[in-house]
């Protein structure tokens, strides 16, 4: 079985169609792979941690798609959420803040190398 880790890095604060398009494309791939019965890990990292508080809103254009792939979300990079001011918003959604890899100057981040070690393909958006 194929395994794919999908990392959302785009920034909703950019207010651009490109940022929203990257989010949609990340979730499109998650949805397609999930439909095929493949293992998917959707991760929000960097400024992408800010998306979490947006896509949980029922009026957001990506809300329905998020609902369809929410079960593939493994979490949100904790150190990134701290740096980009998203920690409180992420906590409010109930998603996990991942702090598995200690990096100097952070409270811990997602260890993407672990996914590579475990045979995942890594896609970034």
Q: What is the pTM of this model?
A: 0.96
Closest CA to 109 of 38, 43, 63: 43
Quote the pLDDT of residue 50.
98
- List the domain range (segments joined by +) for residue 43: 3-124
Looking up residue 37, the CATH number of its domain turns out to be 3.40.1260.10
Count of structural domains, the chain: 1
For 41-65, what is each residue's pLDDT tens digit?
Answer: 999 999 999 999 999 999 999 999 9
For 1-38, what is each residue's pLDDT tens digit?
Answer: 799 999 999 999 998 999 999 999 999 999 999 999 99
Q: Map the chain to HEC letters.
A: CCEEEEEECCCHHHCCHHHHHHHHHHHHHHHHHHHCCCEEEEEECHHHHHHHHHHCCCCCCCHHHHHHHHHHEEEEEHHHHHHCCCHHHHHHHCCCEECCECCCCCCCECCHHHHHHCCCEEEEC
Quote the pLDDT of residue 1.
77
């Amino acid at each position: 079985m194929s395994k794919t880790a999908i990392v959302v890095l785009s920034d909703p604060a950019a207010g651009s169609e490109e940022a929203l398009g990257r989010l949609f494309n990340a979730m499109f791939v998650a949805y397609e792979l999930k439909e095929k019965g493949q293992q998917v890990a959707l991760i929000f990292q960097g400024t992408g941690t800010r998306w979490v508080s947006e896509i949980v809103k029922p009026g957001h254009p990506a809300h329905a798609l998020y609902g369809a792939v929410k079960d593939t979300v493994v979490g949100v990079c904790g150190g990134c959420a701290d740096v980009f001011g998203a920690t409180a918003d992420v906590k409010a959604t109930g998603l996990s803040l991942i702090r598995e890899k200690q990096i100097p100057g952070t409270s811990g981040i997602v260890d993407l190398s672990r996914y590579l070690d475990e045979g995942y393909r890594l896609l970034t958006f």
